[in-house]
Structure 1
C-alpha cells in the first residue's frame, strides 16, 4: 500500500513536470526535463564510519531546467548557464540509513560544447529528508545523520550525447553531501559518490542569446553591520541546544559585476563552550577563561544575479579559551531584501571539514557617497 502511494506521488510529479514543459514550450522558452538512474557508494571520510564501507545506495532523479537566454545581465556574464530544480531519492539498502529524498536548485554550466557532445558542470544545494536518523535507543550506529531534515550540497560533471533535436543521453559522475551543520549530534555527515545514466527531453534546443550593454559603474565601496544566530548541540550526550550569536562589521570592495572582496571584524558568543570549558583538563582549577571571541575575517563574494555566494576565512585575534583551531571558515549565501537590508544563511566550519554551526544573518549595507563632480566653470 505504501509503495503504491509513493509510485502515485512520483507519477503526479512527472505529470506536473511535463505540464510545465508543455506550457513553456508554447511560450518558446527553452526548457528541458530529465530522468536518471543513480548508482551510489558511501565514501568513508572518517574512521568513525568504517561500518558504512560497502554501502551502495540506488536512486532516481527527476529534474526540470531552464536555459538562460540573456534576459538578465548576469546570464551573459556566466555564458548562459542552465538553472534547474531536482528531486533525488535514495534507497540505502541498509536499515540504519533507510531512505532519503532531496530537493535542490542548481546551476549547470557548459565547459565544452559541440554539435553532438556537451560537457557541463553542475552545482546545487537544497534540503533533504532522511527516514532513519540517530537515536541512542533505536538507531545508535547511525552516527552520520542525527536529524530528519538536512542540508544537501551536490556537485556533478555531466556528459550529454545528442540523439535527436529533442532527446539526449546523459552520463554523469558526482558527489552528494548531506549534513545538518551541527544542529544535532552526532553529525559526521554522509558523502555519496554517484554514477548516473539518464535521458533528457528538450522543448527546444537552439536559442538566440540576448546581449545587453554593461551597466554603468556604481558605488564600489560599501560597509555592512550584521548580526547572526544559530543553534547547535555540543556532543552526542548533551541534549541541550545552545544559541550561538555573533555581530560583525565589514567593508566590501566590488572588483567587477561578478566579484567583491570583504574584510571585517567579528565578535562571537558561544555558550556551548561553558560546559566544555568546565570539564577541560587543560584549564587550571579555579579559573574560568573568557569564552568570548573576536576575529578578523576576509573573503570573496561571487554574485549570480541578486544572490551572493561568499567564501570567507577568519582568525581569532582574541580567544582566551582555546578550544578550537585559531582559524575558521564560512560558506554563506546572501540575498538583498532592499538596497540596504539583506538576509544570509551560512555554514561556519573549523579545520575545513568540521561543521560548527549554521548561521542565519540579518544585515544592513551602506554605500560610500559618490563625490559630486567638480564644476567646469572657472571661478572669477
Structure 2
C-alpha cells in the first residue's frame, strides 16, 4: 500500500507540469566519491562513481506560476545511469526521478539554480549473505533516491546553455530490508541544455512576506522488520508543530513528534517504545511543495535502540487541497537511514 501511495505522490510532481510547453532538454556527465559514514563501509567506499543523466524540464512564465514560490522554476523528469566504480560489489544504478528546480539568481546569460529530486533507483548488485556479503549499503534492488544539486549555467544564444553542478545524492530502501546503511555520494558534473521557444523572463514583484505563524498537525505510518519477533511491525507517528517565514521561501519552526514503534524489543511493557522527541526545523517553501529538515532529540527510547540521542528527518510534502498535504519522510541517525514513511498534514 505504501509503495502505491509513493507512486501517486511521484506522479503529482509530474502532473504539476502538465499543460506546459517544453522548455529544455539536457544531458550531464558527473564524477564523484562515496562517503564512508561508518568504519565497516570504508573498504568498499574507495571507488569513484561516474554517471550520465538526461532531463526533460518545463517552465511557466505567467504570474500565477511566479506567485507559487516568488521565483521562476522548472518541473520535470530525469533519467540517469550510475556506475559505482566497483562492479563486483556495488554494480550500477538506474534512476528515474521527478525534479523541481527554482532559479535563485540570474544576471544576463548567467543563472544560479537549485535542482532537487526524488525518485526510484534500481540497483543491479545488492547484499547477499553468500554471494555479496560486503555490500552493506543496500539490500533491495528497488530503492529510493533523493538529491540536491546547485547548478551554475551560462546561456549562449537563444537555444543552448552549459552548466557546472555539485550534487549530493542519497540512496536507501527506507529500512524496508536489512542491511540498509544507505549510500551518500557527492558528484561534480558538467552538462548542456537545448532550449526551445526561448523568450525573455518577465519581471514581477515579490509577494508580501507572510506575518502569521503557521501551525500544523501531522500523522505518519510505516512498518519495519521486527528485532524481537517474526514479520514486520507497524510504526505510528503523530506530531504538532509550527513555522514562521523569514524570507519568501524560508521558514524556521519547532514542534514535538511522538512515535510508537512496535518493531522494537522492550524490557517490561510497550510504553518503552513510545518515543517523544522535540525538534527544530527549517522549511523550504515553494508553492505547494514544502521540503523540511528536522533535528529531533529523544526524550525516551528503548534500551539498546541506537547510541544516538538525536535523529534527523527529511520530509517532502505536497499540498493536495487547501490546508491538507501528503508526502514522505526519511528518518536518519547520523548518516544511516532507518525508514521511510507516508505522511498526511493539516495546517490551521
**In which range does the TM-score fall when normalised by the shorter chain?**
0.7 to 0.9
Which residue of 238, 241, 244 corresponds with 2:232?
A: 241
- Note if contact 1:69-1:210 (Cα within 8 Å) is conserved in structure 2: no
Contact 1:64 1:85 in 2 (8 A): yes
SS at match of 2:41: helix
Alpha-carbon deviations, 1:123-177, whole Å to 9, x = none?
3222211122112233222110111122212233434343432122333332322
Distance 1:252 1:322, change over 3 A: farther
Partner of 1:7: none
Query: Residues 166 and 238 from structure 1, CA distance in 2 versus in 1: closer, same or farther, beyond 3 angstroms?
Result: farther
Is 1:104 aligned to 2:127, yes or no?
no
1:261–1:299: 8 Å Cα contact kept in structure 2? yes
For the pair 1:175 / 2:168, whether they are aligned, the reply is yes
1:348 matches 2:339: no
CA 308–174 in structure 1, closer or farther in 2 if over 3 Å, else same: closer
Deviation, 1:90, is 1.6
Say how many residue pairs are matched: 329
1:230 aligns with 2:226: no
- Aligned pair in 2 of structure 1 residues 249, 175: CA closer, same or farther (>3 Å)? closer
Deviating more after overlay: 200-209 vs 74-83: 74-83
Relative to its length, the structure with more strand (as a share) is 2
RMSD over aligned CA atoms reads 3.5
312 and 196 in structure 1: CA distance in 2 versus 1, 3 angstrom threshold? closer
Aligned-partner Cα distance in 2 for 1:361–1:293: 18
Once the two structures are TM-superposed, the CA of residue 342 in structure 1 deviates from its matched residue by 2.7
**Structure 1 residue runs without a partner (length 5+):** 1-22, 279-285, 368-380
Q: Given that residues 289 and 321 in structure 1 are in contact (C-alpha distance below 8 angstroms), is that contact kept between their aligned partners in structure 2?
A: no
Residue in structure 1 matched with residue 316 of structure 2 by the alignment: 333
Q: 1:336 to 1:163 in 2, by over 3 A?
A: closer
**CA distance in structure 1 between the partners assigned to 2:158 and 2:32 by the alignment:** 30
Match of 1:296 in 2: 278
Which structure has the higher relative contact order (CA within 8 Å, separation 6+)?
Answer: 2
Change (3 A) 1:156 1:248: closer
Match of 2:257 in 1: 266
Cα deviation for residue 223 of structure 1 reads 4.4
Bigger Rg over Cα: 1
Q: Give the deviation of 1:262 after TM superposition.
A: 4.1
Q: Is residue 31 of structure 2 the alignment partner of residue 39 of structure 1?
A: yes
Q: Which stretch shifts more, 141-150 or 208-217?
A: 208-217
Shift of 1:238: 8.6
CA contact under 8 A between 1:75 and 1:81: conserved in structure 2? Answer: no
The whole-number CA distance in structure 1 between the counterparts of 2:138 and 2:84 is 13
Deviates more, 1:325-334 or 1:289-298: 289-298
Specify the alignment match of 1:305 in structure 2: 287
Distance 2:225 2:92 in 1: 24
- Structure 1 CA distance for aligned equivalents of residues 271 and 81 of structure 2: 47
Alignment of 1:214-229 (within 5 A): 214=207, 220-221=212-213, 223-229=215-221
Shift, 1:77, TM fit: 4.5
- Runs (4+) off by over 6 Å: 215-218, 286-289
1:57 alignment partner, one of 45, 49, 52: 49
| SS class of match (2:199) | coil
Pair 1:357-2:339 in alignment: yes
Question: Deviation at 1:119?
Answer: 4.2
Shift of 1:221: 4.8
1:164 aligns with 2:157: yes
Partner-residue secondary structure (3-state), 1:186: coil
Deviates more, 1:37-46 or 1:70-79: 70-79
